[in-house]
């Protein structure tokens, strides 16, 4: 039986979920202001990822063909964008890095420059205020802006 692309992806995602779970179990902080601790969120995501990936294995889609070259390149560009996002997150700060990432992702999927920039700006600013003010999560402002503050 030929291994379907969905099933192979499901197996890879279960491996990723296991990796995230192992890394989450190693999280320790010297003090805890949260009764749940820092492990809960990554463990919850790992469990959810494993559950959804198992659906891909048990019941793959009807199209068992691998994605075409153009889609494969686009997926690699998305992965590269997210890696650059992770590398620049603390250096440039949340708002600037999110603006650049969302704008480039929108452009990759065919949005015109104006709409891509508007979407990137709105998502960066709104998500910053949601995380920082509504949820109380501390986000990096970036090394470039700290001297200005």
Question: What is the 3-state composition of the chain as percent helix, strand, coil, each rounded to the nearest 5?
Answer: 70, 0, 30
What confidence score (pLDDT) does residue 131 get?
Answer: 86
Helix axis angle, 5-25 relative to 40-58, nearest 10°?
A: 160
**Tens of pLDDT along 99-129?**
999 999 999 999 999 999 999 999 999 998 8
For the chain, the domains span: 2-58, 69-148
**Alpha helix stretches (DSSP H) within 26-60:** 40-58
As a whole number of Å, the CA-based R_g of the chain is 19
- What is the pLDDT, as a whole number, of residue 2? 52
Average pLDDT over residues 70-82: 92
pLDDT at 3 over 80: no
Which whole number is the average pLDDT over 47-59? Answer: 92
pTM of structure: 0.64
User: Which residue reads 């949260």 in tokens?
Assistant: 34
Residue with tokens 């480039």: 104
What local confidence, expressed as pLDDT, does residue 85 receive?
Answer: 93
For the segment 140-144, the average pLDDT, to the nearest whole number, is 76
Checking if the pLDDT of 63 tops 80, the result is no
C-alpha angle with apex 103: 97 to 109, nearest 5 degrees?
A: 135
For residues 44 and 60, what is the distance between their CA atoms, to the nearest angstrom? 23
- Cα(100)–Cα(103) distance, rounded to whole angstroms? 5
Instruction: Grade residue 27 by pLDDT with cuts at 50, 70 and 90.
Output: confident
Residue 78's nearest CA partner among 106, 113, 58 is 106
Closest CA to 50 of 14, 81, 24, 75: 14
User: What mean pLDDT is reported for the chain?
Assistant: 86
Q: In this prediction, what percent of the chain has a pLDDT beyond 90? A: 47
Distance CA 52, CA 14 (A): 9
pLDDT surpassing 50 at residue 1? no
């Amino acid at each position: 039986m030929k291994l379907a692309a969905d099933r192979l992806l499901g197996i890879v995602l279960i491996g990723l979920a296991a990796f995230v779970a192992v890394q989450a179990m190693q999280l320790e902080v010297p003090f805890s202001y949260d009764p749940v601790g820092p492990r809960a969120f990554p463990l919850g995501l790992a469990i959810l990822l494993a559950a959804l990936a198992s659906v891909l294995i048990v019941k793959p889609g009807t199209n068992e063909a691998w994605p075409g070259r153009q889609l494969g390149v686009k997926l690699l560009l998305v992965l590269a964008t997210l890696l650059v996002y992770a590398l620049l997150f603390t250096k440039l700060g949340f708002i600037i890095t999110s603006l650049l990432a969302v704008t480039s992702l929108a452009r990759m999927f065919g949005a015109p420059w104006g709409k891509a920039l508007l979407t990137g700006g709105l998502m960066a600013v709104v998500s910053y205020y949601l995380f920082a003010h509504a949820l109380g999560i501390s986000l990096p402002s970036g090394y470039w802006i700290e001297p200005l503050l």
